[in-house]
Structure 1
Amino acid sequence: MDMNATGEPVMTHADPQVRVGVHIEQGTCVLTQGGTDFTAYHPWVEFAAPGEKPWTAVKVEFSATRPDGGSVGLTVDLLNDACDGPRDHVPNAIWKVVTLAATSAGDVGIRYTAPTS
């Protein structure tokens, strides 16, 4: 890799967000929209902690397969319109995806060890 970098990057904590992707086994989560079934295989869950509040899941963006085999992206907003709690009637399977993402990211207290040089 031919790249240089300088500086001391600083993260802003005004509105931190984290996107966590997980791979789920094809066929284990089927999303239905407008009477059409979509087979989800890779969701990205967005977590946010606005205004120093606790981390919360905001939305899930799914990569999915249409019945004809083509790819499609579907987004599920998890917060209600007032953004002060979960949206009503979000299916349990989607909350399980959120749980998988949160678990894989250390419950969004992401644990990471930098490589040694």
Structure 2
Amino acid sequence: MELGAVGEPVVTHEDTQVKVGLDLKAETLILTSDGTDLVAYHALVEFAALRGEPWMAQQVKFSAHRPDGESTALVVDLLNEACDGPRENLPAVIWQVVALAATSAGDVGITYTLPAH
């Protein structure tokens, strides 16, 4: 395969989003949604920096197995309804996943601090 390129990429920082995926070790994170236990095996954390503001974690999308073995997804919104701070009453383990993703995101220049909750 031949590949060519010209130019130099420039990122605008007005509405920038970065998604960081994490493979989770089997059986280490069980999420409960509507009374059903879901065994998470992957998390995709979405970070955004709007109009030059600091980076914020917006959402985590978990890929998981249901008790019947079928795959499913569970999306957790991290921001409150006004989108100006963290959503209250999220399990601490969700923020642990965000912290793990933020560590990986540091490799691409994202600096992120967990919100106080």
For 2:48 and 2:107, locate their aligned partners in 1 and report how far apart those are by CA, in whole Å: 12
* 8 Å contact from structure 1 (residues 55, 108) kept in 2: no
Deviation, 1:2, is: 4.0
Aligned to 1:89: 89
For 1:82 and 1:88, locate their aligned partners in 2 and report how far apart those are by CA, in whole Å: 12
Moved over 4 A (4+): none
For 2:107 and 2:3, locate their aligned partners in 1 and report how far apart those are by CA, in whole Å: 33
Aligned to 1:109: 109
Aligned to 2:113: none
* 8 Å contact from structure 1 (residues 45, 101) kept in 2: yes
User: One-letter code of the match for 2:30?
Assistant: V
User: One-letter code of the match for 2:36?
Assistant: T
TM-score by length of 2: 0.85
Deviation, 1:105, is: 2.1
Deviation, 1:56, is: 1.0
Aligned to 2:70: 70
| Structure 2, unpaired ranges of 5+ | 111-117
User: One-letter code of the match for 1:40?
Assistant: A
Task: Pick the structure with more strand per residue.
Answer: 2
| Structure 1, unpaired ranges of 5+ | 111-117
Aligned to 1:115: none
